[in-house]
Structure 1
Amino acid sequence: MWSLSRQSRARNTRKNAGCSDIPHEEVLNSDQDWLSQQTTMDDGTRRTIMQRRIEEAEKQSALTAQDTAAIKRLESHMKERHAQYALTEDAIGTGGEYKLARFLREHNYDLDATARSLVEFIRWRQAWAIDRLSVKHVAPALEALNIIPLGRTKQGLPAVYVRYQKTLPPDLEVISALAYWLEQYDREHAQSMLPMCFVIDLKGFDLRASRRIKMGKAHQRLLSFYPGRIGPSWIFRTNTVFRMIWRLVTPWVHSKYVAKLTVFGHDFSSLQDIFDPDQLIETLGGTMPADTHACTRLCYEKEGIPVGTVEPSPLSASVLSRYYGGADRAGDYECIRAGEGAKRDRFHRWTDYFFVLTRQSLFYFKDRDATEPNNAIELTADVSVAREHLMGHRHVLVIRTNEREYLVKFPSSESRREWMSAIEEVLEHK
């Protein structure tokens, strides 16, 4: 999808959006008609169309007969198996049957799996004091996340724009802010199952962000407590570094979330197939003014707290560690092969590394306990690997790419043979 034509991008974008536009024959017969009428359609007509789209989106997210029947079975199941965890608003928050239906759908109506997830959710809410978290506890981190509200998609779904920030607060503050923000959205849409869509701008992403990306496991667990709330999302201005790290951590992220992501290059014009211009900020090619402080300000207003009020969080770092753990070490990665070796740099100096081989890349870390890769060799179709004989250095492999040659060596001839075989197997499937 890195270099598709506009027509192809439009088809793929609409496919990934997972739904079609809402019929409105009196005013609009197709997206093309809508785009051509934008300059002449009055504000009242636009509002009417959008309101009908929102109503249709709400209708599509309503409870079904299957949901209602499953909820009754779930309530009985919880009373029999987990009587100490009552499904009250104090325990699970707002939403009632809609929340239970979202958990059931997430687990394909499996009662045991849904019950276990709800028990974990209730415990998490208590440990993280979700009902006591306030904007005054998370405002600085919420501002740093730079979440900018957008309008609605053409399918009537709410959306936000998130710009990558090189400097972020500590992990506990970031996770707390995300938990608070998701909880607020959950409360606002308690009587529906509407998901939130994301437009993510990764301009400036660099290797130093890899640990943040590796917090994808923490984010995934957080999202599991708000099932069904993440809708189709679109990532723009990605670079090689992001793609390298993303390939490394994708195995951690549930396939349901990966399937909702569409990755583009640097052209925001694809968003015109998803949003009407008056629902998109000017930065992204729309006509809405961008308000970088709107997210935090709205939270203050909803809570009735003076804007700018800040108080210490009731949470401690031990809570973060207990629920999300620390950054993963190189030695803990899911991979094809991992082990020690060395790599020669441009100045012919050899440095010891811990290598991690995945289906897309050969990563090298400072050691097996490192949480950030120093770099990686992308294993594309044009890459080759061969044995190399160097004076004074044994068990060497040369990996040739279009850009350069990489020399790596291993402790023994057997180790080199196994590494070469593993890399060749990866390349055979390119």
Structure 2
Amino acid sequence: MSTSAVHCAWLPDHQLHVAPTLAHVDQLIAHISRIVHDYTDQGPLTLAETVQGDRMHLKVTAVAPIPEVLPRLVADALTQLRAALEHTLYAEVEHRLKRPLTGQEARCIEMPACSESARFDAWLAHGQRRRLAPLAVGAELAERIRGLQPFQRRDVEDHPLRLLAEHTNLAKHRPPAVAATRLGAVYPDHQHPDLTVALPLERNPQPGHGLPLQPGDILASGPGYTRIALSIVPTVCVQRPHTQVWHIALKELGYLEDWVRTTAIPILITGTRQGTAIPPQLDITIGHPDLRQALQSAGTTPAADRGVLSMQATIARRDLPEILAMPPVGADREVITAWVASLDDATVATALTRIAEVRSNPTALLDCLRQLSAEAHAYQSR
């Protein structure tokens, strides 16, 4: 039995419908990832150096607008994730009743996102819902839904179901999800005691609370008598509606997609997180006479992970020839370019990671660069 077949062994026939929905989400996130990649790779920030006394400041003078399709695709992906939960719950209720739901019953089937236990109890007791045996207090399915509620965690505001509900409620009633360009990081090529840089997101005392980049923002400040090369990393972020906190769009989507696919849906169907999950990379652009069979060959790497790897690989293919061609290694730039072009995304990204890991150790860094150069020239001599 293949790995993907094991993935799907726990998924009953009446819930197979959720696999194409999750595949649709994966395709949406992949599309989002490509747009983000193109936007950030083209350099959305216009920068200028300004002198103030003996200091040089690097300022933002313009920020390229984010493509309008991006927040709409984000809203589409989030809405489809919520639909996957709703459809799974609906199918499970009908399966347990062993009959189709009536029109009135169907209208009361929804996935709640309760911040308090009492609110969930009230949800169970409401109208037609309380007359459905699968949703009776203490019933197996009702308890599975209870276990997925935001009030089960101390960080209620950050619970995936709360986030999903807030994002999709906004998408239904307001303009598309708010997206903006923020500062991911500023990396100097070398440290200088008089250099100060804007804090990257992960080191900010209040991560996620900073405002989007705008003209006039200072990204770095240093002595006017010396030049220090900098790498500026912009990120595309979305704002959580209920807390106004900003998070990197692909990370937010990846977090919610993973929770729905690997936690929420398995728990609704089986009561536990399965050791394996529904594979996300099912090709739904073609018809499948046997959907379960098709799942056996579906890819297992989520689009958010593939997108991050693709971005890392693009940076590596651009930077490695320049890094290895510099003294003291002095490798042939054309050889390095041909070598990195031959590598898959994971391998070329790993090569750049190897350099970053030893960057602070000159001896280890030189050894690493020479080793990579040797690998490139060995490829050329094949």
TM-score, normalised with respect to structure 1: 0.21
Q: Which structure shows the higher strand fraction?
A: 1
Report which structure shows greater RCO (CA 8 Å, sep ≥6): 2
